[in-house]
Each structure stands twice: as structure tokens, then as C-alpha cells.
Amino acid sequence: MNKSVLKRILSYTKPYIAYLILALISAIISVAASLFVPVVIGEAIDLIIGKSNVDFLIIFSFLLVLAITVLIAAIFQWLMNFCTNIITQKTVKDIRDKVFEKLQYVPLNYIDQTPHGDIINRVVNDIDQISDGLLQGFTQLFSGIVTIIGTIVFMLTINVPIALVVIVVTPLSLFVASFIAKRSFHMFREQAAVKGELGGYIEEMIGNQKVVKAFGYEERSQEKFTEINSRLYDCGVKAQFYSSLTNPCTRFVNGIVYASVGIVGAISVIKFGLSVGMLSTFLSYANQYTKPFNEISGVVTELQSAFASARRVFSVLDEPVEVVDDANARVITDCDGNVTIEDVSFSYNKNVPLIENLNLVARSGQRIAIVGPTGCGKTTIINLLMRFYDVDKGSIKVDNTNINDITRNSLRKTYGMVLQETWLFAGTIKENIAYGKPDATDEEIIAASKMAHAHGFIKRLEQGYDTVIAQDGGNISQGQKQLLCIARIMLTMPPMLILDEATSSIDTRTEVKIQKAFQTMMKGRTSFIVAHRLSTIKEADIILVMNSGKIIEQGNHDELLQKGGFYAELYNSQFSKT
């Protein structure tokens, strides 16, 4: 199974084949120079015949050759490492780009159902682990293979029997490396999965630390963290145990090879006239031959961890993408804002029904308020209107065109959306307001801010519209963040609006001003308003009362109060004494 993963990783290196070839050539030259060194040393040793019988002049010439050879080996070793570094970093950059791009197109239910910390862990830590494994893997692959082949060739040209001794012992090194690799892979795969779980839990706890403290959940949070961390410790210890066997085992095999060469070489010196210098050369080759096995086995930890991480990364890349727009899908450039929902059924969990046979007609310019108890499907309708999710049955039409026949991008541009949960990015206030219209002028941004009643607090900031806010607006209040999000919509002025508890974080006084701004903005625009505070929707043209995924009442505020039904009960409950 690792072969398929490796093959897939290597497919990302194809654009950098030139660096790959250069690395291979550099490895050949570097290894060839390194293998020539023992020959030079061996011949120099043979010139030391006895006391007062040393040809220093020739030995000095050998030393010069040795220095040049070592320099050549070092230069091409550096060049090989340089090329493999470029291949590795460019490859993991491409993989990370692909993963982030994929996250833009996966269905929203994947993002909703997968812990965000785990997703972040895959994009950052798992890809870093691939980088570490690739870097060591490429380096050892090139130099190792060339060293093994080159050493065998050099030894066979000098003395075949001794070379055969080394070759015969080789399978033992391969067996040891394979045995350890198979067992460590499963441990590293489990370790990567638990790391993802731990990352998700940490992200969840840190992101909701106020809630944790408010409910005194600190100790239970610590207990849960300790439990996950203990599992990570257990599988990490097992993974490291197997991988730690690599070095001593391969060194044991290396010792067998070195001893075998020493014994056979000594016999050859005594009985077959092999020179002491050549024996020295063979002993050096014995070390160089076994070194690649030792190094490759030594990076088994990184390689197995990289394979386990690669599987997690590729699982994201293999997620099905959002259903692509039909080839004949229309691009809406102008929209009147007529929306029709016909016999729509939908549920997030196919075994748990949510919305069934929903029908709704919203005419251009109407204000449609959606109310009901928590979990009745109010926000789900918004998700369906925006095509964040596709309906299971039925159809939704905009201006008599099924939204499945409209490109998602153009459909979503027809809506201006202000949610209960604000979202701001690290940047200036001006950039955040202009998020939906990057080419907006300063005058347009200021005008939108004034309509949203945000201009006043912005001007009080030290740098005004150029004030840099922290990620998610951490250095301004929740109400101010909501005002900026409203200004963002005021700037784009789309033909339809979705206000999902848009004023929930704003004080009552500011809310009155915002409601007036909304009245201006909603003129001539179809507006869908999700609200819990029923006092904010009295002016709606139609109020849809939902319960258990169905519309059970509809009408304007006065009509529904006169009916004395579910809405009247819901409305009056806001003022009842408890």
C-alpha cells in the first residue's frame, strides 16, 4: 500500500524532473569520487614498504589527488542536497496548494462534520511531515543506490571473491530493514490519526475558552486532553520503539559484513598475494557499502511517519467536490428577486428528517421573516437558498429559474448575507469592509459605513479606516464587528438580502439605527430575515412560522397575533413573567 502512496507523492515531482536528473548526476559523480578515495589511500599504503623505504614524493602526489577527489565529492554532494531540497520544498508547496484549493470546493458538510483542528493539522503538520520524509528519502535514495552499485562494481574489479562475500550478506540487511518498516508503519499511522484528534480538541477548547471557564469545565477539559494525550504517548512510544531497533540491528549486520571482509581479505593477503593497501581499500568499501543500508534504515521513522501523514493528506484530496455547475448553467447578472420554493425536502442526516414538503413564494421586494423554535430549520432554509447544501427533493427557483441551473458563484452574488456569527480577517478596517467589492473607492466605503452606523466608532480609532484589526476582530467589540459586517453588505447592495440574527450583538439603541438602515437597504430588495427577537420583524410583509421543518403559520404580524396560534404564543412568551 505504501507503494501507491509513494507513487502518488512522486507524481508531484514531475514538474521538477530537471532537478531530479541533476541530483542523480551529482550523486553519481559524488559517490564515484568518494569510492575513488579508498583506492588512492590503498595505493599510497602500498608505497610504505618498510622502515627507510618510503617513496614520499609519490605519496605527496597521491595526497594531492586525494585532496582534489575529496573536494569534487564535497561539491557534488552539496549540489545533490541543493537539488533534493528544491524538489522537496516545491513538491510540498504544490501539495499544500492543492489541499487548500480542494478545501474551497469540498461540500460544506465536510467542513461542518470534520474537526477544524484536524483539518488544520493535515494542511500544516502532516504536510511538514511529508517534507521531512521526502527530504531524507530523496537524499538517501540517490546517494544510497549509487553507492551500493558503485561499491559492488569497484570491488568486483579488484577482487571477485571478497566482493561476493559482501553481496551474499546483503539480503540480511534488506530483511532487517523490511521487518522493522512494516511494524513501525502501523504505529505511525495510528500516531498521525491521534495527533489530528488532539489538534481538533485543542482548537475546540482554545476557540471556546470563555465557555469553558464560564461553566467551570477546566478540570474535565484537562481530563479529556490527558486521555487523548495518553493515547498519543502510547502509540508514539510503540512507534519509536520499533524505529529505534533500526540502528542497532543494521549496525550488527554491518559488523558481520566488516568482519567477513576482514577475515577473507586477511586470508587473501597471506595465501593469494593481495596487498595490504588493497585490503585497506576493501575494508573501506565494506564500510561504505553498508552505510547506505544503515542510513536508509535510519530514516525509516521519518519515511513511515511521512507515509502515514500522506494518507491523511490524500484523504482530503480524495474527498468528492461540490457538485459542479452544469455546463449550460446560467450566470445571473441581473435579478428581480422572485424566489419560489416548491415541495422541498432536506435533512443533514438522511435518517433524521428535517424539512419536508416545504413551499414558499417570495415576491420581489418582499420582506420574509422566518421564526420558530431552535432546530426547526430556519438557518437550513438559508443554507438551501445559498446552495451551501443542495435539496434532497423539490426545487428552489430564482426568477423562475431553478438554482441548479444557475452558477453557484453568480447565485451567491445576488444575496447579501449578514450572519449572527461575525467573520473578519487580519487586515485594515477598510479592507474588511471592501471584502465583497475590492475595487470600492474610499468614498463608497465611508458611505456604507455611515449607513451601517459604523463610521462614528471607526473615526474614533487612532488610525481610522486604516486601523489594523486582529484575526477575527479580536481587538474590537462584538457589536463593532457586527457593524463592520453590515457595512460590508451595505457596500455591495445586492438584489436580495439574508439577515440571520444580524443585530443580535448590538445594543438596543444602535439596533434602532440599524433597523432604520435596513429599512432603507431593503427597499425594492427581497429580504429573508431570521430572528429570535420577534420585536425586530413586526414590519415584515410575510412572517413564516416554522416548527419541525414545516411552515405551520404565515401572515403579517397583526394577522398572526389575531389568530392566537403558535406565533402569538411565541410572541407573548417574550413578555410573560417567569
Q: Residue 295 and residue 141: Cα distance in Å, rounded?
A: 10
Dmax (CA) of the chain: 124
* 141 Cβ contact partners less than 8 Å away, ≥ 6 residues apart: 296
Where do the H-state alpha helices sit in 47-126? 56-103, 108-113, 116-121
The one-letter amino acid code at 364 reads S
Strands 550-555 and 468-469, by their bridges, are unpaired
Instruction: Say whether 357 sits in a helix, a strand or coil.
Output: strand
497 phi/psi in degrees, rounded to 5? -125, 145
Stretch 465-493: mean pLDDT: 80
313 with 99: CB under 8 angstroms? yes
Stretch 183-207: mean pLDDT: 76
pLDDT value of position 223: 85
Of 448, 326, 480, 323, the closest CA to residue 388 belongs to 323
pLDDT in tens, 25-37: 888 888 888 888 8
Secondary structure element (H or E) that encloses residue 242, with its range: helix 218-244
pLDDT value of position 218: 78
Please tell me what DSSP assigns to residue 124.
I
Place of cell 618510503: 54
If pLDDT is split at 50, 70 and 90, which confidence band does 75 have?
A: very high
> With 80 as the cut, is the pLDDT of residue 126 above it?
yes
Stretch 459-463: mean pLDDT: 86
Take residue 79 and report the three cell numbers written for it.
Answer: 549540489
Q: Residue 455 and residue 59: Cα distance in Å, rounded?
A: 86
Take residue 52 and report the three cell numbers written for it.
Answer: 627507510
pLDDT value of position 214: 66
* 106 Cβ contact partners less than 8 Å away, ≥ 6 residues apart: 316, 319, 320, 321, 322
If pLDDT is split at 50, 70 and 90, which confidence band does 506 have?
A: low
Take residue 386 and report the three cell numbers written for it.
Answer: 445559498
pLDDT in tens, 218-249: 788 888 888 888 888 888 888 777 777 766 77
Quote the mean pLDDT of the chain.
80
Task: Provide the percentage of residues in the chain whose pLDDT is more than 70.
Answer: 87
pLDDT in tens, 365-407: 888 888 887 777 788 888 888 888 888 899 999 988 899 888 8
Stretch 155-179: mean pLDDT: 74
pLDDT value of position 265: 74
pLDDT value of position 72: 93
Of 349, 336, 420, the closest CA to residue 378 belongs to 420
Place of cell 440574527: 501
305 with 192: CB under 8 angstroms? yes
pLDDT value of position 92: 87
Instruction: Say whether 52 sits in a helix, a strand or coil.
Output: coil
Higher model confidence: residue 352 or residue 509?
Answer: 352
Take residue 420 and report the three cell numbers written for it.
Answer: 449572527
* pTM across the whole model: 0.68
Q: Residue 495 and residue 334: Cα distance in Å, rounded?
A: 8
Where do the H-state alpha helices sit in 429-507? 429-433, 442-451, 455-460, 478-492
Strands 468-469 and 526-530, by their bridges, are unpaired
Q: Residue 567 and residue 345: Cα distance in Å, rounded?
A: 23
Instruction: Say whether 500 sits in a helix, a strand or coil.
Output: strand
Please tell me what DSSP assigns to residue 349.
S
437 with 490: CB under 8 angstroms? no
Q: Which of 274-278, 395-399, 423-427 shows the lowest mean pLDDT across its residues?
A: 274-278
pLDDT value of position 71: 93
The one-letter amino acid code at 341 reads I
Higher model confidence: residue 300 or residue 70?
Answer: 70
pLDDT in tens, 469-479: 876 666 777 77
* Chain center to CA of 484: 29
Q: Residue 183 and residue 534: Cα distance in Å, rounded?
A: 62
Q: Residue 431 and residue 229: Cα distance in Å, rounded?
A: 40
Higher model confidence: residue 135 or residue 240?
Answer: 240
Take residue 56 and report the three cell numbers written for it.
Answer: 614520499
Q: Residue 25 and residue 17: Cα distance in Å, rounded?
A: 12
C-alpha torsion sign, points 431, 433, 434, 435 = positive
The highest-confidence range among 148-152, 213-217, 325-329, 443-447, by mean pLDDT, is 443-447
* 41 Cβ contact partners less than 8 Å away, ≥ 6 residues apart: 66, 277, 280, 281, 284
Q: First vs last Cα of the chain: how many Å apart?
A: 64
C-alpha torsion sign, points 178, 184, 185, 186 = positive
Q: Residue 497 and residue 418: Cα distance in Å, rounded?
A: 8
Of 426, 431, 511, the closest CA to residue 475 belongs to 426
Task: Provide the percentage of residues in the chain whose pLDDT is more than 90.
Answer: 4
The one-letter amino acid code at 330 reads R
